[in-house]
Amino acid sequence: MTPLAGCLLVSSMLFAVGLAGALTRRNTILVLVGIELMLNAANLNFVAFWRFGHHAGVSTGVIFGLFSIAVAAAEAAVGLALILAVYRHTKTTDLSLLTGRAQ
Amino acid sequence: MLDQVFVLLKHWLLGYSPAAIQPEVSILLTILPILLVFPVLFALTTVLERKGLGRIQNRYGPNRVGFYGILQPMADALKSLTKEDIVPASADRAVHFLAPLVLLAVAFLPYAVLPIGRNMIAANLDAGVLFFFAIGAISELSVFMAGWSSRNKYSLLGAMRAVAQMISYEVPLLLSSIAVIMAAGSLNTVEIVNKQAGFSGIFPHWYVLTPWGFAGFVLFMIAATAETNRSPFDLPEGESEIIAGYYLEYSGFKFALFFLGEYLGMFAISGLGITLFLGGWGAPLPFLTWVPSWIWFFAKLLGLIIGFIWVRGTLPRLRMDQLMNFAWKFMLPMALVVVVSAGAWRFLPQGVTRWLVSTLLLAVAYALLARGVETRNKIAKRTYRFAE
Amino acid sequence: MRQMSAAFLILAIVTMIAACAAMTLRGLVHCALALAVAFAGIGTLYLSLGAQFLGLAQLLVYVGAIAVLIVFVILLTRGGDGDASPLIPTGLPITGIVVATTILALLAWAVFHSFAMHSLGPPATPATVRELGTVLMAEYVLPLEVIGLMLTAALIGAVVVAMKEKQDTQ
Amino acid sequence: MLGLGIIKGLVETARNFLGSFVDKKRLVTVQFPEERLPVAEAARNFPFLIYDGVDPEQGLRCVACQICEKECPPRCITIEKSKDKKPDFVGKQQFYPAVFDIDVSVCMSCQICVEVCPFDAIRMDNEFELSTTDRFGGLLWTKEKLARPNEYYEAIHPTEAAEVEARRAEEKAQAEAKKQPSAVTQ
């Protein structure tokens, strides 16, 4: 049970929690939170493989981590802006009510 | 010898501790002085502040408790400790309790990367300045937790204003420090201080003495006042507008924690200002280098604190929209120009040309942006309408 | 378990608890705060793995900005005071959890049978900021520019989408 | 130029700050218990009863006519008439108050009792250090606590006391004159 395996297990568990949350919760903001968790889980893999992977030393893992953080930040900003726009239009953030409506 | 007195003291004490727990004891010995020195400095600053503001407003300031009011912080501490700690019934108990703790933890953490004296730094991190700003960013969350958990419209309003203000002033704060990081070539605070050591003639190589450094320092200090919700930017806790902002529903010891957190934040951010712009623990003049290094750090810190108090005694409180406009429409572009001017300073040949170019760059930008800020609030001549 | 340091274990457990709390708590703002703790936990995980710059960047960006953003949106959509949707929403809770557990089982199986379980290369020397800077500017200068462009576009897009339409508000 | 106003303000506060160390006249604070500002003559706090001569019982001017009790807006004065009478300053037999209480915690220092009193018996005092630990008894002042000699009244309100004194002397003279011819005619 090397540290690398430990990291991979933690990130897969994080990914599973994020996925479960994104699929089950009805509030759009929590779905977005689930997606953020999944993104972070992927990020954790990058760093784990950079640290313990075979060709460790080449710092591509950390660079990819940085870019993925930037992308996730942009995605969160746009996602939340969309949630706000939808809320202003329909006065609710409950997904189950939103899916069936004719826009 | 006096310069390294604390380092030698620590090693001497370390000798006594058993070998097994040597590393833990050494960590403790670095942390303990920080936990003691800065709260004492907080106590002194409260007296300094109240007496200074008093003298500015033609009155004495506290002089009843102790000799000329020196023991006033004892009285304040005793009062806040013995006051009843009321938690509103509708408050969210857990978050309400956690907010001051998070704020205090986040207020103490940045001291790890501040070089107080020659090799007197708690954690010599490779990305020291980034650590400082990362920890500073967490304090916004604790402000929000305090405001939201009291379930009180005014404290929520105060918290939202405080968080909005801290976020919009964090950008110029970062950008003005980026100019210094670019010039020093590293994020490590000890490296930045070493880059500013040395003298040319009687002038030290501090960044504040370069044109872009001076502009950066002014921007840094303005953003620092806003970041710690002080003086002209203390809208979130404006007593006249929204009673007392996010720490409205706190009393007794938790209220004192908020005050301690605010002052510790002020010391930390001015400590960073000293490290980045005023040459950390460097001596200002060549023939004064015999003075111990940590005395210079605390002297400059005292200077900046007096600056904060002076500004607090002078400037009126800004309105929320003025505050936001100033951050995004004046501070941010000015900080970008400071970065460009630092770049020009770096690549132009020594001597007059680079002084001229970077100063011109800054002056033109300042004039244009200043006109932008001034024309917007066209303060026309006041017209009086008398009752007929 | 022996090779993994105690710090790593504690951090992993804290992050897992915070992530589960973020997904299961009833109060929306409680979820957001638990999320902030999860992000901070992941940031410190990076620090313990030696990626100092990434860990601090994560702390700055996620805990400092995204968590506060999520909290702002929760308050703007009036989720702060009332409790969030009931924990076990009607309709499709089971399928979501079943899908997640199957994926977890799949991943865990893959990890346990992969090379990671035994052979362990020498851990990489922690990348200094200067090294990251040179690599970022040398090999990855194009992605850096594209990221800058993308961030500006996202910023402007978010503002335009979230701006209150002056004219056609009912 | 943006920023000049701020610098001017800072210079002003610096001048104030340094000036306060140079000449003490700038500092306006009065260290209260040690230094005191003179109380203005027309200052008023709570009413007090005036008595002539030495004995507060005999010389009390108040004749228990209870006008001030009826006129007092917050009704903080309670008077009980005495059974017997005693001579007043012109010798006429008048009642006197057996009980004259003012609830100082209720009194709002409006001075209406002074304006309506036909016998100049009640006036406003300017004593303000009146804190007591006892919330009830301590703030219900009885006749003995309210009575003050006329000299005290002349000390705190000199001009007003002078007029009152002149008017009373004139009344006394008229009473004497009226009584004198009757004495002469016996």
All domains of chain A in start order, with CATH:
3-95 (1.10.287.3510)
Q: Tell me the C-alpha distance between B234 and B228, whole Å.
A: 8
Mean confidence (pLDDT) of chain B: 88
Does a structural domain hold residue D180?
A: no
Number of H helices, E strands in chain B: 14, 2
Q: What is the CA radius of gyration of chain D?
A: 25
3-state secondary structure of B56: helix
Model confidence pLDDT, tens digit, residues B218-262 = 999 999 999 988 878 887 776 666 667 788 888 888 888 988 999
What is the ipTM metric for this complex? 0.82
Does a structural domain hold residue C103?
A: no
**Mean predicted confidence (pLDDT) in B57-66:** 87
- Do C and B touch (≥3 CB pairs < 8 Å)? yes
- Residue window 11-40, chain B: list those with CB within 8 Å of chain C: none
**Mean predicted confidence (pLDDT) in A19-44:** 91
Does a structural domain hold residue D2?
A: no
Does a structural domain hold residue B265?
A: yes
Does a structural domain hold residue B320?
A: yes
Q: Are C129 and B127 within 8 A, CB to CB?
A: yes
Is the pLDDT reported for residue B376 higher than 70? no
Q: Tell me the C-alpha distance between C76 and A80, whole Å.
A: 11
Q: How far is CA B129 from CA B112, B145, B206, D99, in A?
A: 11, 25, 17, 80
In this structure, of A72-76, B48-52, B203-207, C162-166, the range with the lowest mean pLDDT score is C162-166
Is the pLDDT reported for residue C83 higher than 80? no
Residues of C with Cβ-Cβ distance to B156 under 8 angstroms: 75, 80
| Cβ pair B369, B207 in contact under 8 A | no
D27 closest CB neighbour out of B59, B366, B369: B59
pLDDT band, residue C146 (cuts 50/70/90): very high
**Mean predicted confidence (pLDDT) in A35-61:** 86
Find the helix packing angle between C28-48 and C6-24, rounded to 10°. 160
**Mean predicted confidence (pLDDT) in B45-52:** 91
- Residue window 119-148, chain C: list those with CB within 8 Å of chain A: 120-125, 127, 131-132, 135-136, 140, 143, 147
Tell me how far apart the terminal alpha carbons of chain C are, to the nearest angstrom. 61
Name the neighbours of B, counting chains with at least 3 Cβ pairs within 8 A. Answer: C, D
Q: Find the CATH number of the domain harbouring C61.
A: 1.20.120.1200
Does a structural domain hold residue B278?
A: yes
Residues of A with Cβ-Cβ distance to C136 under 8 angstroms: 63, 66
Q: Tell me the C-alpha distance between B24 and B14, whole Å.
A: 10
Is the pLDDT reported for residue C19 higher than 90? yes
pLDDT for residue D123? 92
Q: Tell me the C-alpha distance between B296 and B302, whole Å.
A: 10
- Percent of chain B predicted with pLDDT > 70: 97
**Mean predicted confidence (pLDDT) in B78-102:** 89
Number of domains observed in the structure of chain C = 2
B145 closest CB neighbour out of C33, C56, C65: C33
Q: Are C65 and B141 within 8 A, CB to CB?
A: no
Number of domains observed in the structure of chain B = 1
**To the nearest whole angstrom, how far is the Cα of A31 from the nearest Cα of chain C?**
9
Q: Tell me the C-alpha distance between B203 and B196, whole Å.
A: 11
Residues of C with Cβ-Cβ distance to A2 under 8 angstroms: 3-4, 116-118, 120
Considering only CA atoms, which of B298, B331, B308, B332 is closest in space to residue B33?
Answer: B298
Is the pLDDT reported for residue B381 higher than 90? no
Give me the domain span that covers residue B261: 5-374
Model confidence pLDDT, tens digit, residues B181-230 = 999 988 999 999 999 988 888 888 999 999 999 999 999 999 999 998 88
pLDDT for residue C51? 87
Residues of B with Cβ-Cβ distance to D4 under 8 angstroms: none
Residues of C with Cβ-Cβ distance to B140 under 8 angstroms: 64, 68
pLDDT for residue C121? 65
pLDDT for residue B242? 62
Is the pLDDT reported for residue B353 higher than 60? yes
Does a structural domain hold residue D67?
A: yes
Query: Tokens 């706090």 correspond to what residue?
Result: D45
Does a structural domain hold residue C98?
A: no
In this structure, of A52-56, A79-83, B124-128, B321-325, the range with the lowest mean pLDDT score is A52-56
Give me the domain span that covers residue C52: 1-85
| Cβ pair B122, B30 in contact under 8 A | yes
pLDDT band, residue A15 (cuts 50/70/90): very high
pLDDT for residue B378? 61
Q: Are B311 and D10 within 8 A, CB to CB?
A: yes
Does a structural domain hold residue D63?
A: yes
More confident residue, B357 or B1: B357
| Cβ pair B192, B229 in contact under 8 A | no
- Percent of chain C predicted with pLDDT > 90: 44
Q: Are C16 and A14 within 8 A, CB to CB?
A: yes
Does a structural domain hold residue B388?
A: no
Does a structural domain hold residue C23?
A: yes
Asked which of C29, C60, C85 is the last residue of a domain, the reply is C85
pLDDT for residue C114? 81
In this structure, of A21-30, B166-175, B234-243, B305-314, the range with the lowest mean pLDDT score is B234-243
Q: Tell me the C-alpha distance between B234 and B311, whole Å.
A: 12
More confident residue, A69 or A103: A69
- Which residues, at least 6 apart from B26, have a Cβ–Cβ distance to it below 8 Å? B10, B14
Task: Say if strands D47-51 and D147-149 run parallel, antiparallel, or are unpaired.
Answer: parallel
Give me the domain span that covers residue D80: 47-173
Identify the burial level of B200 via C-beta atoms within 10 angstroms of its C-beta, where 0-12 means exposed, 13-18 middle and 19 or more buried: exposed
Residues of D with Cβ-Cβ distance to B310 under 8 angstroms: 10, 13-14, 17
- Which residues, at least 6 apart from C25, have a Cβ–Cβ distance to it below 8 Å? C31, C34, C84
Sites in chain D below the pLDDT cut of 50: none
Does a structural domain hold residue B381?
A: no
C154 plus C77 within the same structural domain: no
Q: Tell me the C-alpha distance between C19 and A10, whole Å.
A: 11
Is the pLDDT reported for residue B120 higher than 80? yes
Does a structural domain hold residue D20?
A: no
Q: How far is CA B335 from CA B192, B215, D144, in A?
A: 19, 8, 76
Q: Are B52 and D27 within 8 A, CB to CB?
A: no
Does a structural domain hold residue D134?
A: yes
Asked which of C21, C54, C85 is the last residue of a domain, the reply is C85
Query: Tokens 């400590």 correspond to what residue?
Result: B271
pLDDT band, residue B377 (cuts 50/70/90): low
B148 closest CB neighbour out of C29, C64, C65: C29
* Beta carbon pairs, B and D, within 8 Å: 42
**Mean predicted confidence (pLDDT) in B305-333:** 89
pLDDT band, residue A96 (cuts 50/70/90): confident
- Residue window 184-243, chain B: list those with CB within 8 Å of chain C: 185-188
pLDDT for residue A98? 75
Amino acid letter for position B291: V
Interface test with A, best of C46, C128, C134, C145 (most A CBs within 10 A): C46
pLDDT band, residue B135 (cuts 50/70/90): very high
Does a structural domain hold residue C30?
A: yes
Q: Find the CATH number of the domain harbouring D128.
A: 3.30.70.3270
Which pTM was predicted?
0.86
pLDDT band, residue A57 (cuts 50/70/90): low
Q: Tell me the C-alpha distance between B153 and C72, whole Å.
A: 15
Does a structural domain hold residue B159?
A: yes
| Cβ pair B11, B29 in contact under 8 A | no
